[in-house]
């Protein structure tokens, strides 16, 4: 029976595949690109034949994935035939017997080069090992500097993977979602792919925090009617005014994404109801013949401010000076008729295209848009400079790149009036390195607006900066604490590494000479013993200290070597292996070397007497009830992090094979650290009411209480031991009922 059904299944699959390809062609034919249908058809037929019989984890034919990626590339990014063909072929070299040479022979060098770039970074940017991870990322960026379409197709590939993530195991979902949030979303943001960046963030959030995601979605749905009334009241007089101006335009309200709402709730410590900028009004107009788009933006601005009162500190003019990712728009915030602040974004159709599709849209308007292309070239140039940095550590390297991916820009002037673009928060030292490496290395200070400032002085838009140098100056380790740009960090690192290497070599020579002088073996075992004796876990650190003359070796080191160093050695070996510090006796993890982890099921976080089968991470301190995940340490211990923890995010991105989904068992006998922040009006007896509520009503042990009052308002933090999230929630409700207490919420310590 099964045999006779097989042709029917095959026929149905072929129809589905053909329909998907027809949809792709329709999207392409509706674009303004040159008609190269034959080439796209040839690429589809080749990929379809190459992937014949292969299935995705969801059970659908594998070719549906390249077709979906090609459709994203065409429809959502606005790219043409070269990118569509490359997307269709992107997995052929990786998953089949065909080579890049075969692609070159059939489709030409440009498509072959892009497919080769995509193949080199396949399997996710993050490899199994740190060095492979850094190398893959370097390959991606090097190829990207050759042809930006490589990264655009890679982002499209990731977007489709995120849209179909439901068929993956939970631990794999965490890895992919963490990786997406850590790297792909900021990369899409930097390339101006706003709608894709938003969807990547929302999908990552959906898999990492399903309950919060569902809660915010439900809240948005239930408040939709109120928002519509608010928008209608605001829009009526504006529509009348714009119609009188003779414009062709559309005006609509755009609701904030689920992820950005949650992010704001977390960072500001507020509830959903306290977020007032849930939507922004967007006005998109078609340009008028012979009138500059910028002038139309300001005309619309003038019309709106005739009706509503403006908030001067919230004007953002990205029309005159676009962002580095090409974004252009005029933003203003006005007081609406219902007494609420409303943000308005004014853009031309071209500006909206670039805002949604980023650099991909620039080809559409290339002849008019030299400036944006120049900005892209500048960004790729900074990436190339970072790649020149010798021997980058994988995670440091990714963090360095990320510094530049996420930043907003400021514009700073040289003494001659030239403009330099820097990230928000950049310092005088960053500016020095932006001008030239030698200027940065020898910088001793700066004059900002003719006033003398230190190297660490943060710059703001419009500052005029003159760099002061000295020949005797060299980069110092503390400089790394206040530079923000990737270029400055890598240049300082390079000099410090070189200095450290030279100093360590000098120290090593001194150690070897001292051992030989004492007529003992100068080999590594004795060098290690000396390092341990002086309190160093690593030989290189000991050499460095000797080189800098922080340690002066005695005339005869033989006596030191004869002393028993076993206890000292044990102590430092433990440190070197990274055993968890400050671990409380009751938090001691059960040795689990022999346990094999089943990643298909959640790992249960057990509480048995005073022993646990896990360790709480110091960075985020999750408690029972928190969304959490497990990370398998080198010694096979499970370290538990919150899913939203920034350090946890790096672990998910970099060590996906060590991630476990977790579930909490009942923890009514155990206590966990938690910190509450409480704010309100200062009054007699309020502190007494707070402590009484915590101690009497909840029998909670307060570890630390710090409350400060100023100008009639108090603000405090209470550190205590609780059983789980439910304790915290009940406590917040009880405390918020106390007279004059205005806000209560859990915060990181």
Q: Reduced to 3 states, what is the DSSP secondary structure of residue 272?
A: helix
Q: Which residues of 686-716 are buried (b: 16+ CB within 10 A; e: fewer)?
A: bbebbeebbeeebebeeeeeebeeeeeebeb
The answer to whether the beta carbons of residues 342 and 310 sit under 8 Å apart is: no
Q: At 551, phi and psi to the nearest 5?
A: -125, 130
CA atoms in the 13 A half-sphere facing the CB of 584: 12
The answer to whether the beta carbons of residues 70 and 22 sit under 8 Å apart is: no
Catalytic residue among 23, 27, 60, 95: 95
Neighbours of 120 (CB within 10 A): 18
- Ranges of H-type helices in 164-223: 170-179, 185-190, 194-208, 210-222
Residue 367 neighbours by CB under 8 Å, 6+ apart: none
Q: Which of 631, 625, 623, 626 is nearest to 650 (CA)?
A: 631
Whole-angstrom distance, CA of residue 654 vs CA of residue 649 = 9
Q: At 665, phi and psi to the nearest 5?
A: -85, 180
Whole-angstrom distance, CA of residue 657 vs CA of residue 215 = 30
DSSP, residue by residue, 48-103: HHHTTT-B-TTSSBTTHHHHHHHHIIIIIT---HHHHHHHHTTTHHHHSS--HHHH
Q: Reduced to 3 states, what is the DSSP secondary structure of residue 519?
A: coil
Neighbours of 339 (CB within 10 A): 6
Q: How buried is residue 541: exposed, middle or buried, by Cβ count under 10 Å (0-12/13-18/19+)?
A: middle
The answer to whether the beta carbons of residues 570 and 577 sit under 8 Å apart is: no
Does residue 94 carry a catalytic annotation? yes
Catalytic residue among 22, 94, 224, 608: 94
Residue 531 neighbours by CB under 8 Å, 6+ apart: 537, 538, 539, 541, 542
Q: Which of 201, 190, 194 is nearest to 403 (CA)?
A: 190
Does residue 95 carry a catalytic annotation? yes
The answer to whether the beta carbons of residues 338 and 6 sit under 8 Å apart is: no
The answer to whether the beta carbons of residues 413 and 463 sit under 8 Å apart is: yes
316 beta partners: 331
* DSSP H or E run through 744: strand 741-747
Q: In Å, what is the CA distance from 278 to each residue of 223, 261, 281, 669?
A: 10, 8, 10, 42
Neighbours of 463 (CB within 10 A): 19
Pull the structure tokens for residue 266. Answer: 């977390």
Residues tagged active-site: 94-95
């Amino acid at each position: 029976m099964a045999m006779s059904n097989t042709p029917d299944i095959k026929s149905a699959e072929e129809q589905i595949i053909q329909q998907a390809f027809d949809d792709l062609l329709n999207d392409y034919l509706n674009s303004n690109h040159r008609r190269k249908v034959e080439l796209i058809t040839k690429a589809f037929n080749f990929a379809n034949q190459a992937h014949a019989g292969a299935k995705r984890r969801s059970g659908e034919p594998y070719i549906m994935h390249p077709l979906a990626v090609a459709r994203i590339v065409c429809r959502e990014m606005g790219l043409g035939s070269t990118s569509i063909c490359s997307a269709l072929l992107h997995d052929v070299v990786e998953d089949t017997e065909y080579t890049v040479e075969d692609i070159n022979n059939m489709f030409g060098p440009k498509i072959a080069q892009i497919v080769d770039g995509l193949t080199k970074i396949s399997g996710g940017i993050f490899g199994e090992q740190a060095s492979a991870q850094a190398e893959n990322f370097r390959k991606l960026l090097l190829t990207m500097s050759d042809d930006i379409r490589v990264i655009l197709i890679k982002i499209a590939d990731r977007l489709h993977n995120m849209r179909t993530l439901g068929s993956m195991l939970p631990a794999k979902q965490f890895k992919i979602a963490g990786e997406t949030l850590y790297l792909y979303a900021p990369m899409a943001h930097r390339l101006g792919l706003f709608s894709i960046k938003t969807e990547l963030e929302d999908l990552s959030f959906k898999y990492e925090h399903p309950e919060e995601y569902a809660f915010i979605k439900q809240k948005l749905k239930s408040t939709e009617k109120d928002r519509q009334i608010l928008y209608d009241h605001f829009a009526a007089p504006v529509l009348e005014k714009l119609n009188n101006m003779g414009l062709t335009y559309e005006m609509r309200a755009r609701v904030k994404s689920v992820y950005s709402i949650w992010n704001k709730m977390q960072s500001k410590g507020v509830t959903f109801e306290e977020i007032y900028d849930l939507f922004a009004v967007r006005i998109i107009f078609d340009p008028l013949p012979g009138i500059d788009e910028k002038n139309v933006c300001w005309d619309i601005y003038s019309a709106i401010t005739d009706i509503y009162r403006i908030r001067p500190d919230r004007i953002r003019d990205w029309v005159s000076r676009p962002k580095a990712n090409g974004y252009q728009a005029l933003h203003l915030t006005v007081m609406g008729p219902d007494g609420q602040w409303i943000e308005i974004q004014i853009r031309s159709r071209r500006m909206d295209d670039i805002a949604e599709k980023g650099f991909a849209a620039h080809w559409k308007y290339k002849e008019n848009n030299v400036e944006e292309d120049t900005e892209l070239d500048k960004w790729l140039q900074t990436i190339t400079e970072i790649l020149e940095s010798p021997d980058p550590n994988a995670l440091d390297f990714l963090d360095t790149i990320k510094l530049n991916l996420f930043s907003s820009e400021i514009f700073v002037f040289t003494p001659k009036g030239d403009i330099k673009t820097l990230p928000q928060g950049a310092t005088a030292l960053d500016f020095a390195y932006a001008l030239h490496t030698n200027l940065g290395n020898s910088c001793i200070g700066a004059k900002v607006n003719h006033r003398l400032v230190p190297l660490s002085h943060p710059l703001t838009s419009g500052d005029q900066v003159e760099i002061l140098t000295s020949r005797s100056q060299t980069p110092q380790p503390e400089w790394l604490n206040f530079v923000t740009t990737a270029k400055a960090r890598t240049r300082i690192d390079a000099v410090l590494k070189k200095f450290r290497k030279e100093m360590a070599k000098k120290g090593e020579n001194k150690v070897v000479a001292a051992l030989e002088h004492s007529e003992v073996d100068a080999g590594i075992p004795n060098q290690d013993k000396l390092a341990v004796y002086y309190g160093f876990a690593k030989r290189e650190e000991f050499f460095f200290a000797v080189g800098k003359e922080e340690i002066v070796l005695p005339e005869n080191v033989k006596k030191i070597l004869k002393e028993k160093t076993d206890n000292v050695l044990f102590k430092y070996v433990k440190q070197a292996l990274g055993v968890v510090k400050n671990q409380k006796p009751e938090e001691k993890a059960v040795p689990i070397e022999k346990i094999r982890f089943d990643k298909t099921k959640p790992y249960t976080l057990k509480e048995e007497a005073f022993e646990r089968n896990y360790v709480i991470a110091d960075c985020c301190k999750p408690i029972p009830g928190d969304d959490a995940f497990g990370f398998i340490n080198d010694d096979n211990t499970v370290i538990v992090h919150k899913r939203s923890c920034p350090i946890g995010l790096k672990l998910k991105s970099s060590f996906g094979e060590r991630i476990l989904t977790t579930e909490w068992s009942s923890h009514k006998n155990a206590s966990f650290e938690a910190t509450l922040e409480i704010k309100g009006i200062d009054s007699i007896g309020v502190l007494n009411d707070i402590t009484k509520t915590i101690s009497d009503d909840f029998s909670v042990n307060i570890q630390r209480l710090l409350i400060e009052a100023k100008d009639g308002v108090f603000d405090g933090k209470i550190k205590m031991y609780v059983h789980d999230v439910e304790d915290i929630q009940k406590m917040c409700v009880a405390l918020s009922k106390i007279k004059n207490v205005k806000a209560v919420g859990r915060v990181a310590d």
